[in-house]
């Protein structure tokens, strides 16, 4: 809020928030990670996507992870340790946005000062953070630099305890002074590379020097007259949010009702069809041909809708063929300012506490996003040097039927990001819910096959109705972080009021002035 009050714009505020979350939610995001940002300035015809996803190091190979006789990667090297780390893009991406789309009224030092103070003076262990530390204690304690920050002598800190990270404060001061060069060149680049290599990795200082932010065109679709603007590959989310909504557009979801058996059944079947296509067609479009026009085509969606039997569960779905229509996921937050500038950012170090490796003397955790590749050769999502792993991170904008700013939203939650964002959009457009109510509504999720999952607040009548249709359902907690944590801003043009929405499934809140 301080950035906006001092004359900064939505981009300034978003970048400042991004760096601050790298301190306050270091278990999920930070300098050692990457992500995506979608920006729609009031004077821009089209939104832009800032892609700062991690990339595979130059020495990476499709068969770099070895499997044991149990069929699992030996020593969990795909998720713990240096080999799991890709080249981080966060600092490059956030500063690219700040330099190119910021107001120029806020200096880099002023933008970073709140983050520096949080790191230097400390922050409280919340009721949400405490169990995350406890559940990841073995990973944290494997690396002394990590344990020194996030444990109390090897034990989980109590709720209410203070975590201080003066090394991270010093790193942020370097970024304030030197910009991207503070991380991607010189002594810090060497320090990062050494930390990763010492933990069994292959990242080099040259990999950091070679990292490039990609500025991409968004993927765009429509839903009941509203325009959906979201992320292209290597994010899979934008195309599949549009695909999901295109399929649902063949039904009168509003008439079917919120949380009914029919609506829940339609969502489960639609998600199965979309995720079947995701598994076959989605990858880094810089390396493979992704049939984006087909996946987002409304006629293709109508074909997929024809596979749904509203009286019987399909159980599992196989990929269809969108190519004949070709001619035609962590942390997330959203900012909208009084000028109508819209920004949503989703970024991550992947699993909680990433690779577990804190760069000694620098205070930040390295990602374990190499695990997002298919870890065997011969797949479109297999590892290649410089390739971005497929992501579900999906910052998304919604424009009203007149093409004016309406809503900006995003969520953490791995593959559940796609479903969470789509369900909130539908809750607002189909059911007319206020943004906070749309976020609070119970959620469900399904992949192409396997059990569907839903929150415990879904009614017993709906649960029994789905079982009668043949669905295999697992019920999770009433407010389960598994289903993401959507944060959003909605603009009511008739009242000229911005409404913020925050998700109680995760830490976070809405704020405005």
Active site residues: 330
How big is the chain by its Cα radius of gyration, in Å?
A: 22
Number of neighbouring beta carbons within 10 Å of residue 338: 12
Distances from the Cα of 6 to the Cα of 10, 92, 104, 105, 339, angstroms: 12, 24, 12, 8, 14
Closest C-alpha among 72, 56, 64 to residue 389: 56
Residue of 171, 58, 135 whose CA lies nearest to 352: 135
Measured distance CA(168)–CA(233) in Å, rounded: 31
Residue 146 corresponds to which tokens in the numbers above?
């990590």
Measured between alpha carbons, how far is 323 from 233 in angstroms, rounded to an integer? 16
Buried b or exposed e, range 136-166, using 16+ CB within 10 angstroms:
bbebbeebebbbbbbbeeeebbeeeeebebe
Helices 108-121, 90-101: axis angle to 10 degrees equals 140
CA–CA dist 48, 141 (Å, integer) = 40
Q: Peptide bond before 233: cis, by omega within 30 degrees of 0?
A: no
Cα–Cα distance list, 84 to 18, 24, 226, 368, 435 (Å): 23, 23, 40, 5, 37
- Cα distance from N-terminal residue to C-terminal residue, the chain: 7
């Amino acid at each position: 809020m301080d950035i906006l009050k001092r004359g900064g714009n939505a981009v300034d505020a978003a970048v400042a928030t991004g760096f601050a979350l790298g301190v306050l939610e270091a278990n999920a995001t930070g300098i050692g990670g990457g992500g995506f940002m979608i920006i729609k300035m009031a004077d821009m015809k089209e939104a832009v996507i800032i892609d700062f996803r991690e990339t595979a190091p130059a020495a990476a190979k499709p068969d770099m992870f070895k499997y044991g006789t149990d069929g699992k990667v030996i020593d969990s090297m795909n998720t713990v340790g240096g080999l799991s780390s890709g080249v981080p893009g966060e600092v490059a991406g956030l500063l690219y946005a700040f330099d190119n789309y910021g107001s120029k009224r806020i200096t880099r030092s002023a933008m970073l000062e709140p983050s520096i103070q949080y790191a230097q003076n400390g922050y409280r262990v919340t009721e949400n953070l405490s169990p995350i530390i406890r559940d990841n204690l073995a990973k944290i304690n494997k690396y002394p630099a990590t344990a020194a920050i996030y444990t109390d002598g090897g034990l989980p800190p109590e709720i209410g305890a203070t975590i201080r990270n003066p090394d991270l404060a010093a790193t942020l001061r370097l970024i304030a002074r030197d910009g991207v060069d503070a991380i991607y060149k010189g002594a810090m680049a060497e320090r990062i590379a050494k930390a990763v290599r010492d933990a069994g990795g292959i990242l080099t200082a040259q990999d950091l020097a070679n990292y490039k932010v990609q500025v991409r065109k968004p993927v765009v679709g429509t839903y009941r007259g509203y325009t959906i603007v979201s992320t292209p590959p290597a994010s899979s989310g934008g195309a599949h949010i549009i695909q999901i909504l295109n399929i649902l557009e063949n039904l009168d979801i509003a008439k079917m009702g919120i949380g009914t058996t029919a609506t829940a059944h339609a969502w489960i079947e639609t998600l199965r069809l979309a995720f079947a296509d995701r598994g076959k067609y989605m990858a880094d479009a810089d390396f493979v041909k992704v049939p984006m026009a087909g996946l987002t085509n409304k006629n293709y969606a109508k074909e997929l809708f024809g596979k749904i039997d509203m009286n019987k569960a399909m159980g599992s779905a196989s990929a269809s063929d969108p190519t004949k229509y070709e001619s035609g996921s962590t942390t997330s937050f959203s900012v909208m300012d009084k000028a109508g500038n819209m920004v949503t950012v989703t970024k991550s170090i992947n699993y909680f506490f990433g690779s577990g490796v804190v760069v000694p003397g620098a205070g930040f955790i390295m990602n374990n996003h190499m695990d997002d590749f298919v870890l065997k050769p011969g797949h479109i999502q297999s590892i290649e040097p410089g390739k971005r792993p497929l992501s579900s991170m999906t910052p998304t904008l919604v424009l009203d039927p007149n093409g004016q700013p309406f809503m900006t939203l995003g969520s953490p939650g791995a593959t559940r990001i796609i479903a969470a964002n789509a369900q909130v959009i539908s809750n607002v457009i189909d059911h007319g819910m206020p943004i906070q109510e749309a976020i609070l509504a119970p959620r469900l999720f399904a992949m192409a096959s396997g059990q569907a999952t839903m929150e415990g607040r879904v009614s017993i009548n709906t649960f029994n109705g789905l079982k009668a249709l043949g669905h295999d359902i697992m019920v999770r907690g009433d407010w389960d972080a598994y289903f993401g944590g959507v944060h959003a801003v909605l603009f009511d043009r008739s009242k000229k009021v911005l409404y913020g929405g925050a998700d109680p499934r995760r830490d976070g809140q809405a704020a405005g002035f």
